[in-house]
Amino acid sequence: MKSEAKSKKYDVVIVGSGVAGSLVAHSLVQRGISCLMLEAGARLDRGQLLDRFQNAAVKDTMAPYPSLKHAPHPIPSRPDDYLIQKGPDRYDSQYIRAVGGTTWHWAAAAWRLLPNDFRLKSTYGVGRDWGLAYDTLEPYYGKAEGTLGVSGDKNEDLGSPRSHPYPMGPIPLSYMDSTFSRELNRVGYKVVTEPVARNSQPFDGRPQCCGNNNCMPICPIGAQYSGDVHARKAEGAGTKLVPNAVADFIEVDALGKVSRVRYRDPSGTAQWAVGRYFVLAANGIETPKLLLLSRSVRTPKGVANSSDQVGRNLMDHPGTAMTFLVPKPLYPGRGPQEMTSIVNLRDGAFRKEFSAKKIHLSNQVDTNGITKELLAKNLYGKALDQKIKQLSLRRLRLDAFHEILPDPENRIVPSESLSDGLGIPRPEIHYRIGDYVRKSAQDTRSHFAKIAAAMGGEEAQFLDDFAPNSHLMGTTIMGTIGKDSVVNTDCQTHDHSNLFIASSAVFASAACVNPTLTIAALSLRLADHLHRKLKSKVSVGA
């Protein structure tokens, strides 16, 4: 099968079509830069995904999304079918391999990092610094908010200075969230409305949120941003997008530059994508896996890996939770699934000793869990129905994201014995949650108890086992020195001048908030950098 990608040399070849890859492609192609975007998974249709979810026997967060033989991904109902767990702690994070990537299902939380998150080592003596300052990224945070469509409250200070307002005002809080904010702010907590990439009014051709309360696993109407928005825009503007194209090898020439990327279709047939510049945007597990698989005489440890840091420093946000009953019904489940967060535990001198955290109130109703719990108590019939209603109206849940430090021993490597349907090695995970997080989780438990008391809560249940939050970070870590990092502050690999990485894999610190807005800001900044490089080559006749 002859492919356009086989015969044409593109200005930029991008591996991955999630929010990072699609933003890079769309930004560049609008300025006359030819782009090829390779996506391991298939194109998805929202209506078909909704049908798939409705008909699924197990309605977990991955139920709408098929795991393909040629491009498998982790799913909760079969946790060991793809990721291979080798560490003392499990890394059960989920991601989607499809056009648009994992933002098909997310809470749409669009947080900026704090200035101190970029300078953790120099401020608190732990972790690492990015080498990139908040002020450098701030204009791109604003650009990312405008590009994705972020709703936020202009009157709330979230600790991240801003030069531009949110493109939209906040989605009105539910009765439960309003009550929670009022009661907790009275006792010294700072509860704010989460900034979200979810429309509070019609925006960019997408409708206003109507409160389906199904943000995860899928927004039924597309009011919430997902990466397929800019995948479609990039393609419409001229990007060549090839779905079902699984990249499995990067070739480096004698000058140390990447010359082409090999990819396979579902039958295993190999083709090559040729370009001047290359951007890896395949997430924090698939990107380092690809780099490490690309071993050759010129790259014996894998591409971009002279530092031996590719695949290392794997991070997420280990989560703990609490449920409790409030005295009067607060009616959770109205509106988006997540609306308010406590933010005054995100920074402070305590970070010298234990991790920062963000605590948020869940606006979901665990009807299934409540029903199973009551059935186990031999409750049936009308009594069961009444008790489900009573508990559903009064049970609240708090979740905490904990910052984890980059640790070279936390890593992903390609398996030497287990492979996927194309014969490509599966990711093997080595992961341990250390004392920095565990000490913070103990502190979190005390805050949970205080919060429940402030709400007049009873029957508190602490969920202390660390839960994954699918924030894949750190595995191609950023730094100013090539011997201990993979990319520089321009997201350019230290080893190969024409290879860049657009992903939360470059994060040098995890902080304690969702990474997507920072991914988008870094991607837009990278697109500007690539445009300048390509424009300068054209201007000198290169």
Catalytic amino acids?
Answer: 471
Token digits of residue 167: 């493109």
Full strand arrangement of the beta sheet holding 425-430: 84-85, 425-430, 411-419
Tokens 């008790």 — which residue? 387
HSE-up (13 A, CA, CB side) for residue 169? 4
Rg (CA), the chain: 23
DSSP-assigned letters across all residues of 456-500:
T-EEEEEEEEEEP----B-TT-B-S-GGG-SB-TTSBBSS-TTEE
Q: Is 379 exposed, middle or buried (0-12, 13-18, 19+ CB in 10 A)?
A: middle
DSSP-assigned letters across all residues of 152-201:
--TT---SS--SS--SBPPPPPPHHHHHHHHHHHHTT--EEEPPBSB-SS
* Nearest residue to 192 (alpha-carbon basis) of 23, 358, 306, 310: 358
Length of the chain as a residue count: 542
At 5, give phi and psi (nearest 5°): -65, -25
Sign of CA dihedral 229, 503, 154, 108: positive
CA distance 15 to 109: 25
Residues 513/16, Cβ–Cβ less than 8 Å: no
3-class secondary structure, 253:
coil
The separation between the first and the last C-alpha atoms of the chain, rounded to the nearest angstrom, is 32
Tokens 């234990």 — which residue? 354
3-class secondary structure, 442:
helix
Distance of CA 348 to the CA centre of its chain: 25
Token digits of residue 269: 């047939």
CA distance 428 to 339: 35
Query: Residue 442 CB: number of other CB atoms within 10 A?
Result: 12
CA distance 540 to 343: 50
DSSP-assigned letters across all residues of 31-61:
TT--EEEE-SSB---HHHHHHHHHH-SS--T
Token digits of residue 12: 């930029």
In angstroms, what CA-CA distances link 319 with 391, 421, 442, 444? 24, 32, 12, 10
HEC letters along 105-144: CCCCECCCCCHHHHEHHHHHCCCCECCCCHHHHHHHHHHH
